[in-house]
Amino acid sequence: MRQTNLESRNKVFLGSFVHSKVLDELEYLHQTAVFVDKSGTIVAIEKDCDESKARETVLPRLGWAEADVEVVKAKEGQFFFPGFIDTHIHAPQYPNAGIFGSSTLLQWLKTYTFPMEASLSEAAKARRVYTRVIRKTLSHGTTCAAYYATIDVSSTNLLADLCMGFGQRALIGRVCMDSELSPDYYRDASPEASIAATKATIAHIRSIDPAFSLIRPVITPRFAPACTLPLLRQLGALAEETALPVQTHISENKPEIALVQELFPRSLTGAADGSYAAVYDAAGLLKPRTVLAHAVHLTEGEADLVAARGAKVSHCPCSNSALTSGAAPVRRLLLDRGIVCGLGTDVSGGYSASVLEAARQAALVSRHVAFGPGGQERDKLGVEEVLFLATRGGAEAVGLGDKVGGFEVGMEWDAQLIGLGAIREDGEEEEVDDEEGGGGGAGNVDVFGWESWPERVAKWVYAGDDRNTIKVWVKGRLVHQRK
Ligand code: GUN
Ligand code: FE
């Protein structure tokens, strides 16, 4: 297994930096220098600082030898942006991205998802798929992903090893599912077997990354209908005992919600009411460290409960549209309830491994919410807001809000260098990576030069893709470079 080698040199990043301050505000820092030490931590941010000032005044202050420093400059028009956080992605489903026909959730799971996931118990296939999904997500600027793997322990552990090797920050969840909703060929034999398998993955991750500095385990009941109540309760107890994060699905689609009500009546759970959220709450799974994917159809009471417990939401707009699940009223969850939300690609319910695509779809779906029944103008998410969800919101959702998601002293350097294309004065499109380029990126997003910085960022959100992602770093280490 390849180890994550800490980069041997300190780094100085120079140029323009864009990041979220608060939900609806981006900060633009130009002519700025960010100093990242060998451990990948930001130790200084200097405004009005060019390379010579950085060398002459800041390096001595930091006690860094010139020879020990790598300087990375953003060209004119390029900008550093925090790495994206994918708060919900199923690594083993990656080969199915785009393949869902006109199915909806429960039928989709049986037809496409369970067979693919089960087939990844074959080590060679798992290695192939997991290698590709990590490379692909890194190339889209995803520096941290909350992965669901499968029920198979060894291939789940392999996913952790591969993330470590490629240097992608990750939460790795061995999927727990022991109920009869799951097919015979893909089901935990008992709650005890499911717990033992979960502990085996936790132990493996502890053995490769004892401090969970890059990779951490996440307790992963697939969703209530795939689990028996004893399993949900034991996973709740394990979460309490280990203080590890939890991830699961909630209220994605209406037949799923009806199924939960049928499978988990109050007489069984002892919950305060018969709602989906109350089932998780009764099992001890609704905690501040819990990430709930979808939350499309939460009732008012459930939204109150989720907020009261401090649980987080992963908004998965691509998936919710693709599987006809619905349109989650995310801005209301954010503003009316104060629920922390991030974005999830939900590959392969979602067709794209790109968080930028999820951000764009979040903006569009919010417009559908706004013009739908009961919708309001205030349901619409702006560019600043979807980028907040993709970075700071996601980081907070997965428990890393103090480490990543923005550029601040003390945070780690998880970042991407973005370049947009440009049109020259003579009307010709610039070459990609043109030395004198206005953006130095790909011409898929044309910048004419008169746009303000907020306008450039809006163009990136609505028309950009991985062609604009030039370089990607995690914890100071270069993990992707566009060819
Ligand atoms: N609910 C239970 N399992 C899944 C899954 O794999 N994807 C989605 N989108 N929803 C689920
Ligand atoms: Fe999912």
Reported ipTM: the value is 0.99
In a 3-state reduction of DSSP, which class is residue 273?
coil
Q: Which two tokens stand for residue 165?
A: 């090797």
Closest to 202 in 3D by CA, of 237, 157, 235, 248 = 157
Averaged over successive runs of 10 residues, the pLDDT of the chain (483 residues) comes to 59 98 98 98 98 97 95 95 99 98 98 98 98 98 99 98 98 98 97 98 98 98 98 98 98 98 96 95 98 98 98 98 98 98 98 98 98 97 98 98 98 97 62 49 86 97 97 98 93
Q: What angle do CA 392, 393, 398 make, to 5 degrees?
A: 100
Which amino acid makes up residue 357? E
Question: CA–CA separation, 307 vs 385, rounded Å?
Answer: 19
Question: CA–CA separation, 285 vs 268, rounded Å?
Answer: 16
* Ligand 1 midpoint to CA 104 (Å): 11
Which of 99, 104, 252, 260 gets mutated to test ligand 1 (max ligand atoms within 8 A of its CB)? 252
Atom of ligand 1 nearest to the CA of 117: 6
Question: CA–CA separation, 305 vs 73, rounded Å?
Answer: 47
* Ligand 2 midpoint to CA 148 (Å): 8
Atom of ligand 1 nearest to the CA of 349: 9
List alpha helices for 63-214, DSSP H: 105-108, 114-119, 123-139, 153-166, 191-208
What size, in residues, is the chain?
483
Q: For the chain, give every residue range classified as CATH 2.30.40.10.
A: 10-82+406-481
Q: Which ligand is nearest to the CA of 346?
A: 2
Contact present, 288 and 309 (Cβ < 8 Å): yes
Pocket of ligand 1 (CB under 6 A): 90, 105, 109, 113, 222-223, 249, 252, 319, 346, 349
Q: Which ligand is nearest to the CA of 320?
A: 1
First to last CA, the chain: 25
pLDDT for position 188 = 98
State the pairing for strand pair 442-447/420-422.
Answer: parallel
CATH superfamily of 84-397: Metal-dependent hydrolases (3.20.20.140)
pLDDT for position 244 = 98
What are the Cα distances from residue 414, in Å, to 53, 79, 240, 332, 397?
24, 14, 29, 29, 16
pLDDT for position 483 = 87
pLDDT for position 442 = 79
Task: List CB contacts of 184: < 8 A, sequence separation 6 or more.
Answer: none
pLDDT for position 428 = 54
Sheet with strand 142-148: strands edge to edge: 84-90, 142-148, 169-173, 215-217
DSSP letter, residue 285: -
Which of 346, 347, 351, 352 gets mutated to test ligand 1 (max ligand atoms within 8 A of its CB)? 346
Candidate CATH numbers 2.30.40.10, 2.40.370.10, 2.20.28.10, 3.40.50.1360; the one for domain 10-82+406-481? 2.30.40.10
Which amino acid makes up residue 351? Y
pLDDT for position 7 = 55
List alpha helices for 264-390, DSSP H: 266-269, 276-282, 300-309, 317-322, 330-335, 355-371, 383-388
Q: For the chain, give every residue range classified as CATH 3.20.20.140.
A: 84-397
Per-residue three-class SS string for 438-471: CCCCEEEEEECCCCCHHHHHHHHHHHCCHHHEEE
pLDDT for position 161 = 98
Task: List CB contacts of 435: < 8 A, sequence separation 6 or more.
Answer: none
Q: Which two tokens stand for residue 356?
A: 């930028």
Atom of ligand 1 nearest to the CA of 105: 10
Question: pTM of the prediction?
Answer: 0.96
* Ligand 1 midpoint to CA 278 (Å): 19
Which residue owns the Cα nearest ligand 1 atom 9? 349
Q: Which ligand is nearest to the CA of 106?
A: 1
pLDDT for position 26 = 98
